[in-house]
Amino acid sequence: MRLIAVHLPERIISDIQRLVDRGLYPNRSEAIRIAIRDLLKRELWERSVQETITGGEVAE
């Protein structure tokens, strides 16, 4: 796994920490990894499958 540095507004960091404090994620890094994975899944991976199914046409 590679390490990257990301600058985030204090509000986002605080909100992520609230999720960790509630026990939803073990730590902030894991919460951010999951958020990025979900973004990629939605924006790239599922869209790629949909485009393959529709032959490149945008489904409405």
Mean model confidence pLDDT for the chain: 89
Mean pLDDT (whole number) for 1-12: 96
Give the C-alpha separation, 14 to 28, whole Å: 10
Domain hosting 37: range is 27-51
Mean pLDDT across 44-59: 70
Give domain status of residue 32, yes or no: yes
pLDDT category of residue 54 using cuts at 50, 70 and 90: confident
CA 58 to CA 40: how far, in whole Å? 18
Contact (Cβ atoms closer than 8 angstroms) between residue 28 and residue 13 = yes
- Pair 30, 16: CB distance under 8 Å: no
| Count of domains for the chain | 1
pTM of the model: 0.72
pLDDT exceeds cutoff 60 at 23: yes
